[in-house]
Structure 1
Amino acid sequence: MAQFRSKPFGVTQNGDKVDEYIISNPGGLEISVLNYGCVIKNLFVPTKTGMVDVVVGHDTLADYEADFNSSGSTCCGAFVGRYANRIENAEFSLSGKTYKLEANNGKNHLHGTFPRKIYDVKMFGDTLLMETESPAGEDGFPGNLKVSVRYILTPDNTLRMDYRVSTDEDTIINLTNHTYFNLDGGGNVLGQKLRIYASNYLEGNNETCPTGKILPVDGTPMDFRTGKPLGRDLDTGFYQTTMAGGGFDHCYVLDRPRGASQSLCAWASSDKTGISMKMYTTQPGIQLYTGNFLQNCPSPGKGGIPLEKYGGFALETQHFPCSPSHPEFPTTVLRAGKVFRANTTLRFFTGRQCGRL
């Protein structure tokens, strides 16, 4: 059975109290979560040489606020929405009406306000439940939303993230968790290995929005099907990685076995710590981001150390970016009275427990 404890983490600029909720399990895994943005602040994995914190973040609430309120927000560890990733030209049409959104990423809309919201918290069994509401018009979207996020920690060192959203009006929704992982516990991630179970990816334009082309990874630096170090193909001159800030910031189309609701989508490992992480999801895509602009974060990282380029990698399970502009993509429309559900599961291993990547 998981064990819970909590402690005050600070007060926001608006006067809201924020707490840190710490969950540990018999297997030694420990996670701390803030009710500000449902942020995963720490995730400690037990190894032979001690506990390793495998996520990138900040030490204080003031640092998270400065980060999340900046134009170059990293969204470190946060639950992201109403629409994770980009909406092209910060607008979309639904049922004959055009909705204008905040253009917070050049001329595009990116991620939204969920990382800056305060969530109500309940703890029971092995579950941390966080809930909030999003009123119609927030971020420019239609529909009053009821939102719940569950973090479930099980004895086999597995963290499950469940999302549930309902609406009273037709709207669009795309949700993800924006944790940056560093399985070394520090430094850059270029030597860490990653495998992505995807044969195709979405070609991006120079604003990292999909062009609509779904391209094969075969024979390109985009190919992670058999696993490789994250830094191996960054300097090939391939136009997709060059325009993305000298790294990866792309959505992969996951290979899902017929009839499977949840499937293995990624496997990452560190030779330095011996930590491996397997990721499973019900979502159709996964955005790989190699922290190409983390060095621009206005807030320091943990221990007061500035965040560095390639200091973490994000694996954002989600629907495809800019889906409203591409009706051929899986729909992100959520109809009135319906419920959106998705989950992503992380399972951690040490040593040779899960084989070699």
Structure 2
Amino acid sequence: MAYARLADGRPVERVRLRRGGIEADILTFGAVIQDLRVGGRSVVLGFDTFEPYIDQSPYFGAIAGRCANRIANGRFTLEGREYHLPLNEAGRHHLHGGTAGFSERLWTLEEADAHSVLLSLESADGDQGYPGTVQATCRYTLLDDTSLRIELEGRTDAPTLFNPAAHSYFNLDGTGDVLAHRLRIDAHEFLPVDGDLIPTGEIRPVSGTSFDFREPRVIGEQSGHEPLDHNFCLSREAVVQPRKVAWLEAGDGSLALDLATTAPGLQVYDGAKVNVPLAGHDGRGYGPNAGLCLEPQFWPDAINHEGFAGCVLRPGETSRQVTDYIFTSRT
């Protein structure tokens, strides 16, 4: 029986994964992580029912794509041809794949068992203005009783951009905001942005800036400088095996999260603009800074900046991103 249905009658499925002390609910709509619980505690923002994901969710738990993050003015040139994408952010820029990106699509449930689920999606040539037909897959796997792995893959029949990203908002202690959480990011450089959050083109060292998280810092300290919605530069290209790049600890120290990924960038968003009028998991309200996004991906607007870690995908290639969320309880 379907978990829910879209307005056109198509069924939305929900798959529950369990392994020891970790449990994940996955929706076929948007490949959403609806809930993720560690030791019974919900650690991501989301809704207990499906309907709010249609018009109230700021990408809670979704896979953003075909190209996550921002593309300036919705324009890019690939192999001599200029492409124009929907301007779905303030009418000026392209965000997270457009008005009907991967996060708004119904994925196909390919296989599932107690510990893993595989979803697939076909994005046709011209979808949201992108060239080439892309075959995408997303696999969620509980590796053990503390870890969730996300594997994102894509293939194309023509040169295109492919940069999907997992967009969960984490809150490890269930309080109203994450400002007391501590964060470490193993990055020596970040990308400054303009007033529209578009990278300026500079690759700046974090040293001497408010974006230096190489040693653990309380997130609320950052809010005294400038909002946190920036790409941290992990490498100039994707790597083969996941390596630990970030660490997040609950304000009360009861739970910690290590993030390991193959991606060359990590977009970190402090949730300052979150303002959801509906109650979420466990009846919690979601206001500003209710959760922290840690989004492994290629660098934003890379196609328009020389020297950025880019996401061009060509026929015969397979794009693969692997990310592990590893939890450690101290209670």
Per the TM superposition, whether the score is higher than 0.5 is: yes
- Cα shift readout 1:234-284 (whole Å, capped 9, x = no counterpart): 113xxxx2xxxxx2000001169x987321111001142611110000001
Distance 2:284 2:148 in 1: 27
**1:31 maps onto 2:39 in alignment:** no
| Aligned residue number for residue 95 of structure 2 | 110
| Aligned residue number for residue 60 of structure 2 | 76
Q: Which runs of 5+ in 2 are unaligned?
A: none
AA aligned opposite 2:15:
Y
Distance 1:16 1:298 in 2: 27
Distance 2:255 2:198 in 1: 33
Distance 1:81 1:152 in 2: 20
Deviation at 1:186, TM superposition (A): 3.3
Distance 1:273 1:40 in 2: 24
**1:210 maps onto 2:190 in alignment:** no
Instruction: From 306, 323, 328, give the equivalent of 1:344.
Output: 323
AA aligned opposite 1:41:
Q
Determine if contact 1:149/1:164 at 8 Å carries over to the other structure.
Answer: yes
Determine if contact 1:91/1:101 at 8 Å carries over to the other structure.
Answer: yes
Deviation at 1:216, TM superposition (A): 1.2
AA aligned opposite 2:293:
A
Greater alpha carbon shift after TM alignment, 184-193 vs 259-268: 259-268
Distance 1:124 1:305 in 2: 30
AA aligned opposite 2:255:
I
Distance 2:85 2:272 in 1: 25
Deviation at 1:331, TM superposition (A): 2.3
| Aligned residue number for residue 178 of structure 2 | 189
AA aligned opposite 1:18:
V
- Cα shift readout 1:298-329 (whole Å, capped 9, x = no counterpart): 65433555420000000000001011110211
| Aligned residue number for residue 3 of structure 1 | none
SS in 2 for 1:213: coil
| Aligned residue number for residue 127 of structure 2 | 138
SS in 1 for 2:151: strand
Pair 1:65–1:304, CA change in 2 (3 A) = farther
Instruction: From 233, 236, 249, give the equivalent of 2:222.
Output: 233
Query: How many aligned residue pairs are there?
Result: 326
Distance 1:290 1:33 in 2: 24
Deviation at 1:11, TM superposition (A): 1.0
| Aligned residue number for residue 168 of structure 1 | 157
| Aligned residue number for residue 241 of structure 2 | 261
**1:248 maps onto 2:228 in alignment:** yes
Determine if contact 1:66/1:298 at 8 Å carries over to the other structure.
Answer: no
TM-score (normalised: structure 2)? 0.93
AA aligned opposite 2:266:
I
Distance 2:160 2:235 in 1: 27
**1:284 maps onto 2:278 in alignment:** no
- Cα shift readout 1:132-163 (whole Å, capped 9, x = no counterpart): 11111111001111111000102241111001
AA aligned opposite 2:102:
F
| Larger strand proportion of the pair | 1
| Aligned residue number for residue 309 of structure 2 | 330
| Aligned residue number for residue 244 of structure 1 | none
Determine if contact 1:36/1:116 at 8 Å carries over to the other structure.
Answer: yes
Determine if contact 1:183/1:275 at 8 Å carries over to the other structure.
Answer: yes
**1:20 maps onto 2:8 in alignment:** no
Greater alpha carbon shift after TM alignment, 118-127 vs 137-146: 118-127
- Cα shift readout 1:74-106 (whole Å, capped 9, x = no counterpart): 100001100100001001111111111000012
Greater alpha carbon shift after TM alignment, 152-161 vs 78-87: 152-161
Instruction: From 100, 108, 117, give the equivalent of 2:84.
Output: 100
Q: Which runs of 5+ in 1 are unaligned?
A: 1-6, 69-73, 242-246, 353-357
Distance 1:25 1:59 in 2: 21
Determine if contact 1:169/1:337 at 8 Å carries over to the other structure.
Answer: no
SS in 2 for 1:210: coil
Deviation at 1:119, TM superposition (A): 1.3
Distance 1:307 1:213 in 2: 34
